[in-house]
């Protein structure tokens, strides 16, 4: 394989639509449907940085139904540290701002959009941030196939796509099935943190706060939360929402001990 082919393959999603896990819980899950993944392009400097650092700091969800459980201790090069997964990290603005404040925590950022991951990677490298790793893939599939049951101390979903049209509501990531899946991946006492500035989506979430028996809804704020819940900085999408005077709603759940 020549150098060009190697470069192009780094961080690229496998060809074809990835397998979608078939859940047998009878609950609702977001389905990818006919969504087209945005490819995007990297600048020359971003590509060079990506080529150098992605093999160590990032992985791609493989196009297989087999489990691909991440060994956190091996990947982060340290043992016994709490681990948090952020689903839909975007350009990583809040991810890179929060990580230095929780240096004892392993942070795994999950995102489909390669330019967003490239921006986060740049922040990680330039800032010398050592506790962030990245996965390129669909959030639900990463949780289902790459994250071992009861292995996480936290899951974050900040400003997920609201899919505002009624016919697209089934694509929203916050569903009864997703909440169940997250609950199975959290350790007892683990925390789920969701934020949205979309009023209709907030109403949707309001209807689901108590739907998952394994999660206890804690509301917002929760002073005794065992993980960092102050997002520190305004994300790009949050900033756009504030410009339009949107109200930001935040939600916290705790995985029950029983």
Q: What angle do CA 31, 90, 155 make, to 5 degrees?
A: 70
Q: Is 183 exposed, middle or buried (0-12, 13-18, 19+ CB in 10 A)?
A: buried
Residue 111, annotated ligand binder?
yes
Strand pairing report for 186-196 and 249-255: antiparallel
- Collapse the DSSP code of 31 into the 3-class scheme (helix H, G, I; strand E, B; otherwise coil) and give the result: coil
Structure tokens that stand for 125 in this block: 């490298």
Residue 240, annotated ligand binder?
no
Residue 184, annotated ligand binder?
no
Residue 2, annotated ligand binder?
no
Q: How far apart are CA 175 and CA 90, in angstroms?
A: 20
Residue 51, annotated ligand binder?
no
Q: What angle do CA 206, 208, 212 make, to 5 degrees?
A: 145
- Residue of 173, 137, 176, 167 lying closest to 58 (CA atoms): 137
Residue 165, annotated ligand binder?
yes
Q: How far apart are CA 202 and CA 33, in angstroms?
A: 23
Which residues have a Cβ under 8 Å from the Cβ of 96 and sit 6 or more positions away? 120, 123, 124, 127, 129, 132
Residue 74, annotated ligand binder?
no
**E strand or H helix that includes residue 72:** helix 72-76
Cβ 184 vs Cβ 150: under 8 Å: yes
Residue 238, annotated ligand binder?
yes
Taking residue 40's Cβ as centre, other Cβ atoms within 10 Å add up to 11
Residues identified as active-site: 161
What DSSP designation does 79 have? S
Please give the annotated binding residues, written as ranges.
Answer: 86, 111, 138, 161, 165, 197, 235-238
Please give the annotated binding residues for substrate, written as ranges.
Answer: 165, 197, 235-238
Please give the annotated binding residues for S-adenosyl-L-methionine, written as ranges.
Answer: 86, 111, 138, 161
């Amino acid at each position: 394989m020549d150098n060009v082919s190697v470069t192009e393959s780094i961080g690229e999603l496998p060809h074809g639509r990835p397998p979608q896990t078939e859940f047998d819980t009878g609950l609702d899950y977001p389905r990818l449907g006919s969504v087209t993944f945005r490819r995007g392009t990297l600048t020359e400097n971003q590509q060079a940085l990506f080529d150098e650092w992605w093999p160590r700091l990032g992985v791609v969800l493989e196009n297989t139904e087999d489990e691909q459980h991440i060994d956190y201790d091996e990947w982060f090069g340290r043992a016994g540290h709490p681990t948090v997964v952020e689903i839909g990290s975007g350009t990583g603005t809040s991810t890179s701002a929060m990580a230095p404040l929780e240096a004892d925590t392993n942070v795994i950022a999950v995102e489909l959009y390669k330019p967003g991951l490239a921006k986060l990677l740049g922040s990680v490298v330039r800032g010398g941030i050592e506790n962030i790793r990245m996965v390129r893939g669909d959030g639900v599939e990463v949780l289902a196939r790459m994250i071992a049951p009861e292995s996480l101390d936290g899951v974050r979903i900040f400003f997920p796509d609201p899919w505002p049209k009624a016919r697209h509501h089934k694509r929203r990531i916050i569903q009864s099935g997703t909440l169940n899946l997250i609950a199975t991946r959290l350790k007892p006492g683990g925390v789920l943190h969701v934020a949205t500035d979309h009023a209709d989506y907030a109403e949707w979430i309001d209807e689901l706060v108590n739907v998952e028996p394994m999660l206890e809804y804690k509301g917002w704020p929760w002073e005794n939360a065992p993980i960092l819940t102050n997002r520190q900085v305004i994300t790009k999408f949050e900033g756009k929402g504030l410009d339009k005077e949107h109200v930001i709603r935040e939600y916290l759940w705790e995985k029950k001990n029983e």
